[in-house]
Amino acid sequence: MNEWNRIELTSFFDNKASGLIYFYTPMCGTCQVASKMLQVIEQLVEVDLGKMNLNFYPDLARQLEVESVPCLIFVEAGKVKETLYAFQSVPFLLEKIKEHLL
């Protein structure tokens, strides 16, 4: 999972790409568990996935209406389709990805 910066995120939306954006903070224990789930997801399906440390982008939190971390945003053709805060399990995440991106 690659760490994205503002330029990469803007390019992702401008190119009307589809994929996942994962917002986290380094000191969040739940975020660490969610990161491990997403590492497993990366091995199972091919999907664009970028992660961003929300501590550095508070303006994006407001713009994308991120309420808490961990946060996974599903983007289809450059449009936000769903925002997920409760990751639950790897099978749950796989179903959500199939629903939106595959």
Could you report the per-residue pLDDT of 21-58, keeping only the tens digit for each? Answer: 999 999 999 999 999 999 999 999 999 999 999 999 99
- Residue whose tokens read 């929300």: 54
Could you report the per-residue pLDDT of 3-14, keeping only the tens digit for each? Answer: 999 999 999 999
Q: Measured between alpha carbons, how far apart are the two ends of the chain, in Å?
A: 18
The vertex-75 CA angle with 89 and 12, nearest 5°, equals: 125
* CATH code reported for the domain at 2-100: 3.40.30.10
Global pTM reads 0.93
**Neighbouring residues of 84: CB distance < 8 A, sequence distance ≥ 6:** 71, 72, 73, 74, 96
